Amino acid sequence: MKDAISRRHALGTLLAVAGLAVTVDACGSSGASGAATTGPVTFWTLQDPTNTIQQAQVKSFNSTGHGAVTLDIVATADYLDKLRAAMGSSAMPGLFFSWGGGNLDYYAKAGKLVDLDPSLEKQFLPSALQAGIYNGKLIGVPMRGTQPVFIFYNKNVFAKEGLQPPTTYAELTSLVTAFRQKGIIPFTISGTATNSWTELMWIEYLVDRLAGPGLFKKLSGGDWSQWSDPAVLQAAEMVKDLVNAGAFGTSFASVNYGAGGTSTLLYTGKAAMCLMGSWEYANQAGFSASFAKNDLGYVPFPAIPSGKGNVANVVGNPTNYVSVTTAAPSKTAADFLATTYSTSYLKALIGVGEVPVTTNTKPLLAGSADPAYSNFLYDLVSQAPYFTQSWDQALGQTLATPMLTQMQELFNGQVTPQQFVSNVLAIKG
Report pLDDT digits (tens) over 46-84: 998 899 999 999 999 999 988 899 999 999 888 989 999
Of residues 352, 355, 294, the one with CA closest to residue 320: 355
Indicate the helix (H) or strand (E) that contains 409.
helix 397-411
Over residues 160-178, mean pLDDT = 97
Buried b (16+ CB within 10 A) or exposed e, 368-385: bbbeebbbbbbebbbebe
- How would you classify residue 371: left for phi > 0, otherwise alpha for psi between -120 and 50, otherwise beta? alpha
Alpha-carbon gap, residue 89 to 81, rounded angstroms: 13
Nearest CA to 99 among 131, 145, 74? 131
The confidence score (pLDDT) of residue 27 equals 36
Over residues 22-52, the pLDDT tens digits come to 444 433 333 444 444 778 999 999 998 899 9
What is the CATH architecture of 5-146+318-389? 3-Layer(aba) Sandwich (3.40)
Report the candidate in 170, 204, 233 with the shortest Cα–Cα distance to residue 387.
Answer: 204
Say how far apart CA 297 and CA 257 lie, in whole Å.
19
149-315+396-428 shares the fold of 5-146+318-389: yes
8 Å CB contact between 209 and 301? yes
Q: What is the mean pLDDT of residues 404-418?
A: 96
Contact in structure between 169 and 140 (CB atoms under 8 Å): no
Using CA of residue 307, residue 308, residue 312, residue 316, what is the dihedral sign? negative
> pTM of the entire structure?
0.89
Mean pLDDT of the 132-157 span: 96
- DSSP character for 113? B
pLDDT of residue 292: 96
Nearest C-alpha neighbor of 422 from the set 211, 225, 208, 199: 225
Q: What is the pLDDT of residue 336?
A: 95
Nearest by Cα to 145 from 373, 426, 338? 373
Average pLDDT value over all residues in the chain? 90
* Partner residues linked to 315 by β-bridges: 388
Instruction: For residue 229, give the nearest of 210, 205, 204, 201 by alpha carbon.
Output: 210
CATH class, 149-315+396-428 region:
alpha beta
C-alpha separations of 207 from 105, 203, 304, 388 in Å = 23, 6, 10, 11
**Are the C-beta atoms of residues 13 and 49 closer than 8 Å to each other?**
yes
Asked if 311 and 303 touch (Cβ cutoff 8 Å), the reply is yes
Domain regions of the chain by residue span? 5-146+318-389, 149-315+396-428
- 8 A C-beta contact, residue 188 and residue 255: yes
**CA separation for the pair 356, 343 (Å, rounded):** 11
Q: What is the mean pLDDT of residues 337-348?
A: 95
